[in-house]
Structure 1
Amino acid sequence: MKILQTVVVKQVLTEKSKQKLLDEYHAKKLQIQKECDQLRFEMKKLEKANRFQSNSLKNHFEKEVDMRQEKLKLLEFQIEQLHILELGSELKEKEVQAIIDVNEGDRWDELLNHKTIVIKDGIVDEIR
């Protein structure tokens, strides 16, 4: 019989992977900042055209900008944490589903142990 099991994928932090993560975080920051600028521009455009029928539309714009500001704060925190982490640290990247064979006589406890795949610079380094 085959069953599905969740497998954790971890990434070993190397110079290359650290730089890649930093680049991804900075690209996300730039995208979010562009979205904030666009929202502010649209809000001012509506204000100048006097198209605000109620404060609810303005509140909606402000809420969207605030949500993006929170995302920016989170990204800043992640960048700070990445600088603190030592090379060789393992970062949980994601979880995937794996098909596991279950046969009569197998130790159930061992089957349920969480499996882990360790990735180093894009290559599977270890399966635990």
Structure 2
Amino acid sequence: MKIIQTVTVKQVLTEKSREELSAKYTQSKQQLQKECDQLLFEMKKLERTRRFSAAGLKAQFDKEVELRKEKIKLIDFQIEQLGMLPYGSEIKDQDIQALVDIQVGDQWEDIINGKTIIVKDGIIAEIRER
């Protein structure tokens, strides 16, 4: 029988992966800033039409902009932490779903504890039983 199980993927921090993560964080930050700018532009555009209540409109847009600014602060924190981590550190990258074969007689605890995949510079370096 096969079951679906969540598997954690961790990335080993190397010079290459640090650069890639830093670039990814920077790109996400820029995208969020563009979204903030776009929201402010849309708010001004809608204010000119005067079809909506100015207070309600402003509150909704301010909420959306604030959400993005919080995400930007989180990304700034992640960039700062990335700079402080030593090479060789393992960073949780993502969780994926995997099919696992189970049979009568298998240890249930071993199956539910799952596995962790360790990736180093895009290559699977290790598969660990938790």
Q: What secondary structure is seen at the aligned counterpart in 2 of 1:88? A: coil
Partner deviation per Cα, 1:2-38 (whole Å, 9 max, x = no partner): 2222211111111101100100111111111111112
Q: How far apart, in 2, do the equivalents of 1:107 and 1:41 lie?
A: 58
Q: Please, which moves more after superposition, 25-34 or 92-101?
A: 92-101
Q: Which 5+ residue runs of structure 1 have no aligned equivalent? A: none
Mark the runs of 5 or more structure 2 residues left unpaired by the alignment.
none
**Deviation, structure 1 residue 109:** 2.3
Q: TM-score with structure 2 length normalisation?
A: 0.88
Task: Tell me, yes or no, if the aligned pair for 2:12 and 2:88 is still in contact at 8 Å.
Answer: yes
Identity %: 58
Structure 1 residue 107 displacement after superposition: 2.2
Taking the TM superposition and a 5 Å limit, the aligned residue runs for 1:1-128 are 1-47=1-47, 49=48, 51=50, 53-54=52-53, 55-128=55-128
**Contact (CA 8 Å) 1:52, 1:58: kept in 2 or not?**
no
Taking the aligned partners of 2:36 and 2:30, their CA distance within structure 1 comes to 10
TM (norm. structure 1) is: 0.89
Helix, strand or coil: the match of 1:96? strand
Bigger mean CA offset, 98-107 vs 70-79: 98-107
> How far did 1:108 drift?
2.2
1:77 CA drift (Å): 0.8
Once the 2 structures are TM-superposed, how far is the Cα of residue 87 of structure 1 from its aligned partner? Answer: 0.8
Provide runs of 4+ in structure 1 moved above 6 Å: none
